[in-house]
């Protein structure tokens, strides 16, 4: 089977959660079928060496310069009058559309990865299609946080256009994948009856990510996530301002590290808090996680499921999360991880775990076992392969082939 896979993210090296998912799903799709990767890439991405690596399992790899969304630009302003969200209007690439048309001429299936490539499904309307990893919760979160009448109206308009995009994908006959049952439920509420919405969870490579021999630094906490993503910034700010001071009253030696680039985000006030370190981008996040006593995931908003939780569990680092942070993961609170939401409850959970090496060891062992059994990319990748084959087969039956 010939598959065209369009990606908003250049997938290698795997420097964020989206890239981790795309890279691993591509590997498993390409092990079963011939895959053409059509990917956007920023100026410093898709080097000849990186392209060569992707070609070790993808049949073809083609790269298109990644457009930048400019909300104040002319195309984005005209997007107010479009049925599509303004970001999809402003970042639409005729070059990508032409590549899709060319590659799709002999293909059996087209997969659009995330909302950013949704519009390219319409380039080849006759092909069976999958819209992979659709997330709409973020848009609803933005509506809830919108300030002022103008802000709320703009956010509501965006949500209305996102709803239209979901319904357009269904009318086109695309199957939709999401990473959690909660995201599936939200999309079901806005999609037409009969829409095919499949849960294909995020995962972790349990072979590459294993507990090591690194001795963790005592009283060390880590959050692995770039604050350039709004939900990560809100989580980090909440933890530093409201939770960490409570922890340090009882454990003055407690230290909190935040990995990932900060981009144009001003974190000077957060970084100035006692016991806080922003590491910047780390080429080897796994070592930083293994060097920490606890991974904290104090997320307050956002959708999807948290690769940072799965990776920490695979690496043998115990996890404390908010309920929102662990949303969509089939984990047992108190056995696989600890869950707390309010600042005092989070601080209590952290202090208790810092002072209880037996509990840290028990959570680490249970978490590792759970990800091995339920969240390894091998089984998750096979779910997408099975869905892809099913979508093509059902379209053939429907057209009498």
pLDDT in tens, the chain (401 residues): 999 999 999 999 998 889 999 999 999 999 999 999 999 999 999 999 999 999 999 999 999 999 999 999 999 999 999 999 999 999 999 999 999 999 999 899 999 999 999 999 999 999 999 999 999 988 888 888 888 988 899 899 999 999 999 999 988 899 999 998 889 999 999 998 889 999 999 999 999 999 988 899 999 999 998 898 888 999 999 999 999 999 999 999 999 999 988 989 999 999 999 999 999 989 889 999 999 999 999 998 876 558 889 999 999 999 999 999 998 889 999 999 999 999 999 999 999 999 999 999 999 999 999 999 999 999 999 999 999 999 999 988 877 66
Residue (of 47, 35, 60) closest to 10 by Cα position = 47
Domains of the chain: 2-203+377-398 (3.40.50.2000), 217-374 (3.40.50.2000)
* CA 288 to each of CA 17, 23, 232, 291, 294: distance values in angstroms, whole numbers, following the listed order: 17, 22, 18, 5, 11
Query: pLDDT at position 212, please?
Result: 82
Report d(CA 394, CA 40) in Å as an integer. 30
Report d(CA 267, CA 363) in Å as an integer. 32
Query: pLDDT at position 304, please?
Result: 56
pTM of the model: 0.88
Answer yes or no: are the C-beta atoms of 53 and 12 closer than 8 Å.
yes
Report d(CA 168, CA 187) in Å as an integer. 13
Answer yes or no: are the C-beta atoms of 276 and 258 closer than 8 Å.
yes
């Amino acid at each position: 089977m010939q598959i065209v896979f369009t990606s908003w993210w250049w997938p290698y090296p795997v420097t964020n959660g989206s890239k981790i998912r795309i890279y691993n799903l591509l590997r498993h799709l390409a092990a079963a079928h011939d895959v053409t990767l059509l990917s956007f890439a920023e100026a410093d991405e898709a080097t000849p060496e990186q392209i060569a690596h992707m070609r070790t399992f993808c049949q073809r790899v083609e790269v298109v310069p990644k457009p930048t969304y400019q909300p104040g630009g002319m195309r984005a302003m005209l997007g107010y009058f479009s049925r599509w969200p303004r970001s999809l209007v402003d970042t639409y690439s005729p070059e990508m559309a032409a590549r899709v048309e060319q590659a799709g001429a002999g293909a059996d299936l087209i997969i659009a990865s995330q909302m950013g490539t949704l519009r390219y499904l319409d380039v080849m309307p006759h092909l069976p299609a999958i819209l992979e990893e659709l997330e709409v919760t973020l848009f609803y979160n933005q509506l809830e946080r919108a300030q002022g009448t103008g802000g709320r109206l703009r956010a509501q308009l965006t949500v209305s256009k996102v709803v239209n995009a979901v319904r357009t994908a269904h009318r086109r006959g695309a199957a939709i994948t999401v990473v959690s049952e909660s995201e599936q439920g939200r999309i079901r509420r806005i999609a037409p009856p009969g829409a095919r919405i499949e849960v294909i969870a995020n995962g972790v490579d349990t072979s590459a990510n294993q507990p090591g021999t690194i001795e963790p630094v005592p009283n060390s906490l880590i959050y692995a996530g770039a604050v350039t993503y709004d939900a990560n910034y809100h989580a980090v700010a909440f933890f530093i301002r409201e939770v960490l001071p409570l922890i340090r009253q009882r454990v003055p030696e407690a230290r909190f590290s935040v990995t990932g680039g900060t981009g144009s985000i001003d974190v000077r006030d957060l970084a100035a808090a006692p016991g806080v370190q922003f590491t910047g981008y780390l080429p080897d996040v796994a070592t930083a996680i293994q060097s920490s006593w606890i991974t904290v995931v104090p997320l307050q908003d956002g959708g999807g499921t948290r690769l940072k939780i799965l990776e920490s569990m695979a690496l043998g680092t115990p996890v404390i999360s908010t309920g929102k942070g662990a949303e969509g993961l089939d984990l047992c609170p108190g056995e696989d991880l600890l869950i707390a939401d309010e600042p005092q409850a989070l601080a209590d959970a952290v202090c208790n775990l810092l002072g209880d090496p037996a509990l840290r060891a028990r959570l680490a062992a249970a978490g590792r076992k759970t990800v091995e059994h339920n969240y390894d990319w091998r089984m998750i990748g096979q779910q997408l392969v099975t869905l892809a084959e099913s979508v093509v087969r059902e379209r053939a039956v429907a057209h009498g082939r």
